[in-house]
Structure 1
């Protein structure tokens, strides 16, 4: 699934897994809530770059929940 590559599917409030810059080699993901979208193009092959509410910046790998349903942890 390549959900993190389309800007139209990502919006503030979504819970997502991102890969931080320093974790790109290992592929380790960090989970958080989207605060800002930083990629302006409609798609990006490595994932849309976002800022989480925690202030961390990375590229979206997977969308965990839509924000309305946060029962998944």
Structure 2
């Protein structure tokens, strides 16, 4: 599932994100959502989240809900 809609994302789900430093390469980082940082209901580049390990990036794929 894609990560452009805020309604699909909630704390505790597993996602793949792109970190700011990896935007050029598109390298994905997997983790569990701790906080949702984007306030708008959707974002074309993916909803920005903070993972439980503290990394921040935009959701590209939702692994499971």
Settle same-fold status: TM greater than 0.5.
yes
Per the TM alignment, residue 59 of structure 1 is displaced from its structure 2 partner at its CA by: 0.1
CA displacement 1:53-72 (0-9 Å, x = unmatched): 00000000000111xxxxxx
Structure 1 residue ranges without an equivalent (≥5)? 67-73
Counterpart in the other structure of 2:45: 46
TM-score, normalized by length of structure 1?
A: 0.87
* Structure number, greater radius of gyration: 1
RMSD of Structure 2 on Structure 1 (CA):
0.8
How many angstroms apart in 2 are the aligned matches of 1:54 and 1:64?
17
More RCO (CA 8 Å, sep 6+): 2
Aligned structure 1 segments of 4 or more residues deviating by more than 4 angstroms? none
Structure 2 residue ranges without an equivalent (≥5)? none
